[in-house]
Amino acid sequence: MRDILEQAYSYIFEEALLDEIAKVAVYKEFKADDYLIEIGDY
């Protein structure tokens, strides 16, 4: 997880923030046509 965050966000976020995100982050993959949230649900 940390490697993915490092590649994508190291130029934006400080190391400490990336560490905190890595502690609680959950990596999930979705199909191209999957809904992440339905309209009206939140």
pLDDT digits (tens, 9 = 90+) for 1-42: 889 999 999 999 999 999 999 999 998 999 999 988 888 877
- Cβ atoms of 18 and 6 closer than 8 Å: yes
Torsion angle, alpha carbons of 32, 20, 11, 34, to 10:
10
Looking at residue 19, its pLDDT comes to 95
Give the pLDDT confidence score for residue 21 in this predicted structure.
95
pLDDT score at 13: 96
CB neighbourhood size of 9 (10 A): 13
pLDDT of residue 40: 85
pLDDT value, residue 29: 92
Domain ranges of the chain: 1-42
What's the CA gap between 35 and 39, in Å, rounded? 10
pTM of the predicted protein model? 0.64
pLDDT at residue 8, rounded to an integer: 95
